[in-house]
Amino acid sequence: MDQNKGRLSGLLPIAVFLILFIGSGILFHNFYAMPAIVAFLVALIVAFLQNPKRSFDEKLSSVAKNMGNENVMIMCLIFLLAGAFSGAVQAAGGVDSTVNFGLSIMPAKIAVAGLYMIACFISIAMGTSVGTIAALTPIAVGISQKTGIVGAMCLGAVVCGAMFGDNLSMISDTTIAATRTQGCEMKDKFRENFFIVLPAAIATIILFLVLAWNSNYEVSGNLDYSLIKILPYVVVLVGALLGGNVFIILVAGTVLSLIIGVATDTIAVDKIFTVIARGMDGNGGIMNMYDIALISIVVAGIIGLVKDNGGIDFILYNIKSRVKGKKGAQIGVALLSSLVDISTANNTIAIVMAGPIAKDIAQEFDIEPRRTAALLDIFTSVWQGIIPYGAQLLYATAGAAAVGLTITPFELIPYLFYPILMGICGIGSIFLPHKKRKFNKVT
């Protein structure tokens, strides 16, 4: 095969990963039966076995060079700092205060829409959809039980809000992965991404308002909150929007959370380092970021060999031969990221895998990095918020079952307005006129 056309065989390691990961999920009825890192290591071995004309040392050098890429290492460091902030702010009571504050000021008429908006704020502040779902699912079930509103609608509102922040948050691992793989600033990606999904967010609020307008409820129990405990989230969010250095912002947010936690007696002085590492009761913390950091490194090595063996050239050639201009290339990026997320059931892993290929497509068709980063994050988040075997829907249903509501992931899908509308807006943005603006390139 002509070298410019690449080689289909170069994609064998990715195919092996997908077969192992999806196959084990189908076989064991659990898409988390095989840890992703195990499947990736097998794929890495397959990549090493390919192209016998190259020596093992040459292949090892290529893998190490790609694993040690500056963007990969920076991405992993940001993952760890985001984990430290998450662990510290949760231990300081930031999550509980934010949830209780929102519920305390939320009018009865906007029960479900308010739940969605609270989830949006918490997820964009926390940077994790699963963490948001875990925090709000018991409240969603309580609102359903007190009002008679369909439980699936309440849980759907939580998942919708969780995916809003997962896609946009400055400390979300998907945002970190998307911006680092494409080489752009977080604030540039945020601005590009925000205006694409804003119509979807507004439409989702309207839909939940209409569907639950006649409901009434009264949340009982302890709704105590402290505005000072919400402050670290505000500092991180505002600092990131103003274009501050992400390392400084995350360290500042972590330190502020610890100070507030100690001052309010929610964090014992001798537990300061523990909550940074493990969070509260193992929820959050640096250790929760180990898997994605290690996976990012291993995937970088695999992609290096895939590229050496002509796999990336094969994808680029086939995309270029089937599309015309920037719009076609953007559709290619959207399709690529969608398929990888559907296959892996993890939007961060999907971005890490598809990112280098998307960057090559973007450079070939002169697409701005912030644009490609936004498309990667949007379309992986679309599917991650819909697939019934993804962590988000599984966490929501498991959390609901723990507090007395039995529901299946499939029952949530009709109420997942935001991911569906986000996908529609993403596709629409590709075909609408797009003004090219200045952006800060990350080298």
443, part of any domain: no
User: Which pLDDT score is estimated for 435?
Assistant: 60
**What tens digit of pLDDT does each residue of 114-128 get?**
889 988 988 887 777
User: Which pLDDT score is estimated for 110?
Assistant: 79
Work out the average pLDDT over 270-291: 83
Which residue, 38, 215, 36, 241, is CA-closest to 143?
A: 215
Residues facing 280 on adjacent strands = 283
Residue type, position 409, single letter: P
Q: Indicate the range of 196-205, 277-286, 302-311 predicted with least confidence.
A: 277-286
441, part of any domain: no
Work out the average pLDDT over 399-414: 83
Work out the average pLDDT over 180-204: 93
Q: What angle in degrees, to the nearest 10, is found between the helix axes of 111-126 and 151-168?
A: 30
Sign of the C-alpha dihedral computed for residues 408, 205, 335 and 181 taken in this order: negative
Confirm if 404 and 335 have CB atoms less than 8 A apart.
Answer: no
Work out the average pLDDT over 97-107: 73
Q: What is the pTM of this model?
A: 0.75
| Overall number of domains in the chain | 1
Length of the chain: 443
User: Which pLDDT score is estimated for 428?
Assistant: 95
Q: Indicate the range of 96-100, 160-164, 437-441 predicted with least confidence.
A: 437-441
**242 or 356: which carries more pLDDT confidence?**
356
Confirm if 344 and 33 have CB atoms less than 8 A apart.
Answer: no
438, part of any domain: no
Domain enclosing residue 312, as ranges: 3-431
- For residue 270, pLDDT over 60 is answered with yes
Which residue, 23, 120, 44, is CA-closest to 295?
A: 44
10, part of any domain: yes
Cα–Cα–Cα angle for 37, 38, 40, rounded to 5 degrees: 65
437, part of any domain: no
**346 or 106: which carries more pLDDT confidence?**
346
> Which structure tokens are listed for 202?
């507004």
User: Which pLDDT score is estimated for 219?
Assistant: 60
Q: Indicate the range of 150-159, 393-402, 432-441 predicted with least confidence.
A: 432-441
SS3 of 225, please?
Answer: coil
332, part of any domain: yes
**What tens digit of pLDDT does each residue of 318-369 get?**
877 787 788 999 999 999 899 888 877 788 888 988 898 899 889 988 999 9
In the 3-class helix/strand/coil scheme, how is the chain assigned residue by residue?
CCHHHCCHHHHHHHHHHHHHHHHHHHHHCCCCCCCHHHHHHHHHHHHHHCCCCCCHHHHHHHHHHHHCCHHHHHHHHHHHHHHHHHHHHHHCCHHHHHHHHHHHHCCHHHHHHHHHHHHHHHHHHHCCHHHHHHHHHHHHHHHHHHHCCCHHHHHHHHHHHHHHHHHHCCCCHHHHHHHHHHCECHHHHHHHHHHHHHHHHHHHHHHHHHHCCCCCCCCCCCCCCCHHHHHHHHHHHHHHHCCCCHHHHHHHHHHHHHHHHHHCCCCCHHHHHHHHHHCECCECCHHHHHHHHHHHHHHHHHHHHHHHCCHHHHHHHHHHHHCCHHHHHHHHHHHHHHHHHHHHCCHHHHHHHHHHHHHHHHHHCCCCHHHHHHHHHHHHHHHHCCCCCCHHHHHHHHHHHHCCCCCCHHHHHHHCHHHHHHHHHHHHHHHCCCCCCCCCECC
> Which structure tokens are listed for 77?
């460091």
Q: Of the segments 45-54, 72-81, 237-246, which one has the largest average pLDDT value? A: 45-54
User: Which pLDDT score is estimated for 111?
Assistant: 78
Confirm if 162 and 386 have CB atoms less than 8 A apart.
Answer: no
436, part of any domain: no
**What tens digit of pLDDT does each residue of 15-38 get?**
898 899 888 888 887 766 788 889
442, part of any domain: no
- For residue 1, pLDDT over 50 is answered with no
- For residue 408, pLDDT over 80 is answered with yes
Distance CA 117, CA 140 (A): 13
Confidence of residue 434 (pLDDT cuts 50, 70, 90): low
Residue type, position 5, single letter: K
Which residue, 391, 411, 270, 336, is CA-closest to 25?
A: 391
Block residue for tokens 């950091």 = 293
Confidence of residue 147 (pLDDT cuts 50, 70, 90): low
